[in-house]
Homo-oligomer: A and B are copies of this chain.
Amino acid sequence: MRFPVLVEVRLRPGIADPQGATIQRALPALGFDGVQEVRVGKAIRFTVEAPDASAAGRQVDELCQRLLANPVIEDTTVSLGEPV
């Protein structure tokens, strides 16, 4: 079965986020005054072939740790979709 996967990689709390800070600085000039705490991460989508959902989840977790995220400064959230 082939599972669609969405991995969100975001900086851990306390890690400086210059990209988010730049967006936040630009907002008042565009008229958006109520926006705060901007943090920019990555949204990685792919599909994974696995016999069942738990095997797919294990494979994705290992992939996050070894390739997609730096666990020292980043957290990940995995969303596994329905197999197609």
Task: List A residues at the B interface (Cβ < 8 Å).
Answer: 2, 6, 8-10, 20, 23-24, 26-27, 30, 32-50, 59, 62-63, 66-68
Contact = CB atoms under 8 A, between A and B. Distances in A.
- State the number of copies, please: 2
Nearest to A45: B39
Given A2-B36, A32-B59, A40-B44, 13 more contacts: A34-B48, A34-B49, A35-B46, A35-B47, A35-B48, A35-B59, A36-B49, A37-B45, A39-B44, A39-B45, A40-B42, A41-B43, A42-B43
Main secondary structure of the interface of A (DSSP, over half): strand
Contacts of A20: 44, 46
Given A32-B63, A63-B35, A8 B43 contact: yes
